[in-house]
Amino acid sequence: MKWRRNRARTQIQTRTPKPVAEPLDSSRIAWLMGVAACALLPHGSHLPGWLVAVAALLFTWRMAQWRLGWPGAGGTVKLTVIVACCAGVTLTFGRLFGREPGVALLTLMLVLKLHELRSTRDGHTVVLLGYFMLLTAFLYSQTPLMAAALGVSMTVITAALIALTGPPARPRALLRQSAWMLAQAMPFMLVLFVLFPRVPGPLWGLPLDAYSGVSGLSDSMSPGSISQLSLSGEIAFRARFDGAAPPARDLYWRGPVLTEFDGRTWRQGEAARRIGNALPHPVTGATLSYEVTLEPHSKSWLFALETVSALPPGTRITDDWQVLGSNAVRNRRRDRFESVPGTRPGIEEWSAYLNGARQLPPGGNPRARELARTLRASGATAAPDAAVVDAALRLFRREAFVYTLQPPALGADGIDQFLFDTRRGFCEHYAGAFVFLMRAAGVPARVVTGYQGGERNSVDDYVVVRQSDAHAWAEVWLKGEGWRRVDPTAAILPSRIERGLADLPAGEPVPFVARVDLGWLRAMRHQWEAANNTWNQWVLSYDQQKQRDLLRRLGMPEPDWRTMTVWLASLCAMLAIALTLWAMRRGSAADALARSWTAIDRALRPAGLGREAWEGPLDYAARVGRIRPDMATLLAHACRLYADARYGDAPPAHAARELKACARALRRQRTPPRS
């Protein structure tokens, strides 16, 4: 028993003491406050307003505690804030998991952690949270401007990490060291970006709700739906033509086709649910080739000019000529299309489909139905359907209809109210009313939604189509002709088809990019959008196919994981060797500086003027200058050279050469001048 007690006593005596965490001084707390600010600022635009206010209040409180000595937040206060904010996040988003609630909770964790800063361990937690918050900012925006802003933020956060782990230093020196470390990591990042196997999906697997807030066309249309979309100046897609782009009036980008009407809302019909991998009918003629880069919109439909003559890989088409992707468009995608302008498909359309294209609800809008019967009675005998179409267009041109983004609200009989009472509407009002009149007159008709027009960017020669170019038009089926496009908006306001929304009256809420036509501002916008497009094409859209194409050009026609691993290891090793050689060269320059500084001491020591171990270079120059004024200028110059190279930014190699020359000159002067 005695030996056991002695063994236990020995174990207690030899147990390693628990390390004590280093407390945080004022300068490190300042860096950590900067970390929180840099990490949270990119999220201010998409967090709920109440959470932004709570985060700002907690941040200000911690700032006042640091600068003014306010009391810190106690455990009860922090627990109350956590419970209240978790409840608020649940009420705001309906859940605690997902992109938005996750970022909201991370924001709360970061600002609350600022109130627990007691040691460097807490500081490291804040830094790691800051890095992760920067990563989550890319879930909302991946523009080059955001990348540059996050690069600056990462430099600040890395400088804070250096301040936590290293000796005290000036902020400028810490930022310089941080920027240099990140610059050294850039080659490795580029190698990994180019060669690391690409995982399908946006940003290597964004959550499904990553693009839940994007705007775009819907699969239904009711009064006001497209006019609200047209208030947005966001880019819907870009197109680049192999040759000259057609004029804007001919650019009708086909989207969802709507054939069912319930009295207020148009929806897709049975034909939209019949999807195939081949064209419904062959299309021949002179083709127009172009490439469309579509922004994410969380729907499956694509946009192409009428009429598509060949389907790109990974696409399908419905019986009413709507092109679809295999999946919902949740990341930017590019497709090459070929279209035959002026073609009218569906000459041999199914009778069942034509009967459905004449259907209307059994009741409602009696005045519009009576007007349709009047239009049919005025039609010519030879071509009654074509005459009805022309008569309806003449009606729209003749009457005092107004094209506006702010139409009045419509009631139950909205078609009647629009045609006979308000006569103010946007494209969906005119297209819907026109198709209703055609069906009431017995003419097969349907609504087509999509985009019309586009703005050519003179910098990169892309045609930019925005959400403000969203449009709706009609198609009527005429025997012997097929489906003919009829745009009632062109009858009301032809300049809308030529110039887009810019021609609307001054009181209309037109997006800024569509209204302002200053030459210098347009040129700046084109430059910026071209830069964004280049970033999208070469960085964000760098997918498996582009990687395979690049590797094929590099001599790897069929790359696999084993080959990729060898390439990655080889390139990383080459980069590491290059950086090591550079560091050795820098170290050799520093060694040469030390040898040259030693030569100064050796040159003066025989004269009793050697440097003491406790003397710095400037103190050494001052002491020798008092003893030997004839050496003061030269030695002061040499000591200043050494100090700038050793402790400043001067190149060591240049200073070493200068110091050698100074040592030779001092060696010649060390004999005291005779009096």
Paired tokens of 467: 């959400």
124 catalytic per annotation: no
* Per annotation, catalytic residue among 122, 320, 335, 487: 487
Helices (H), 196-286: 225-229, 270-273
Nearest CA-CA partner of 44 in 97, 112, 123, 111: 111
| 307 cis-preceded (ω within 30 degrees of 0) | yes
In Å, what is the CA distance from 565 to each residue of 200, 405, 558, 572? Answer: 19, 57, 14, 10
Question: Two tokens at 346?
Answer: 């569906």
CA-CA distance, 485 to 68, in Å (whole number)? 71
Beta bridge partners of 276: 317
Q: Which of 115, 471, 639, 662 is catalytic?
A: 471
Known catalytic residue at 471:
yes
487 is catalytic: yes
- Tokens, residue 268: 């897709």
Instruction: Return the DSSP state at 41.
Output: G
Q: CA–CA separation, 575 vs 67, rounded Å? A: 45
Residue 474: name the closest of 412, 427, 533, 425 by CA: 427
Residues 6+ apart with CB under 8 A from 586: 652
CA distance 263 to 440: 13
CB 36 within 8 A of CB 125: no
Q: What φ, ψ does residue 119 adopt, rounded to 5°?
A: -145, 175
Report in angstroms the alpha-carbon separations of 368 from 261, 398, 434, 446.
15, 17, 10, 17
What does the block give as tokens for 288?
A: 């127009």
Give the type of residue at 186: M
Integer CA distances (angstroms), 237 to 214, 233, 251, 546, in order: 13, 12, 13, 20
Give 456's strand partners. 463
| Range 388-392, long-range pairs (CB < 8 A, 24+ positions) | 388/438, 388/441, 388/443, 389/438, 389/443, 389/476, 389/478, 389/484, 389/486, 392/434, 392/437, 392/438, 392/488
Catalytic residue, chosen from 427, 469, 526, 662, is 427
Tokens of residue 146, six digits: 């955001």
Q: How far apart are CA 572 and CA 565, in angstroms?
A: 10
- List Cβ neighbours of 65 (8 Å cut-off, separation of 6 or more): 71, 72, 115
Q: Return the active site residues.
A: 427, 471, 487
